[in-house]
C-alpha cells in the first residue's frame, strides 16, 4: 500500500471520528496479504479497525485467491463471519467447501 498524500492525511488528522466500513477493511486486509510487506501493511490497517470480521475476510479471500478458487464477494463475507465465530454454515452452495476451517452443512 502506498503512503497517504498530504491532503488526505490532513483530513484524517482533522476528523473527530472516522468510520470505515467492514467491507473496506476486508479489502485493505486482502491487499495487505497479497503485498510484498504483509505484516507492515497489516500493522498500518490495524489502527482503523474494530471489526474482527474484516480480518477473517482478508484471510479467507487471500487463501481462496492462492488456491485459484475465488468465491462471490458476499459469500466470502458470509464464510468469514462463520469462520470468525466457529459456526457451521448451512448452504447448498458447494463452493463454500473451498474455505479452510469452515464447516459446511447441507440441509
CATH of the domain at 74: 3.40.50.1010
According to DSSP, the residues that pair with 89 across neighbouring strands are 104
**Confidence tier at 1 by pLDDT (50, 70, 90):** very low
At residue 4, the pLDDT reads 59
pLDDT, greater one: 51 or 55: 55
Give the predicted TM-score (pTM) of the model: 0.64
Higher pLDDT residue, 62 or 51?
62
89 lies in a domain? yes
Domain membership of residue 6 (yes or no) is: no
Half-sphere exposure of 74 (CA within 13 A, CB side): 1
Mean pLDDT of all residues belonging to the chain: 85
State percent of the chain over pLDDT 90: 49
The DSSP result for the chain, as a single string, is: --PPPHHHHHHHHH-S-----HHHHHHHHHHHHTSS-HHHHHHHHHTT---THHHHHHHHHHHHHHHT----HHHHHHHHHHHHHT--EE-S-GGGGGSTT--EE--
- Tell me: pLDDT of 101 over 70: yes
Number of domains in the chain: 1
Q: What's residue 50's pLDDT?
A: 52
2 assigned to some structural domain: no
3 belongs to a structural domain: no
Higher pLDDT, 14 or 65: 65
Amino acid at each position: 500500500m502506498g503512503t497517504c498524500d498530504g491532503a488526505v492525511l490532513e483530513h484524517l488528522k482533522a476528523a473527530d471520528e472516522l468510520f470505515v466500513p467492514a467491507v473496506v477493511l476486508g479489502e485493505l486486509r486482502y491487499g495487505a496479504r497479497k503485498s510484498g510487506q504483509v505484516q507492515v501493511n497489516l500493522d498500518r490497517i490495524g489502527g482503523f479497525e474494530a471489526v474482527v470480521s474484516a480480518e477473517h475476510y482478508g484471510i479467507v479471500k487471500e487463501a481462496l485467491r492462492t488456491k485459484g478458487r475465488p468465491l462471490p464477494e458476499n459469500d466470502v463475507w458470509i464464510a468469514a463471519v462463520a469462520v470468525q465465530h466457529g459456526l457451521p454454515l448451512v448452504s447448498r452452495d458447494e463452493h463454500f467447501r473451498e474455505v479452510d476451517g469452515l464447516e459446511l452443512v447441507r440441509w
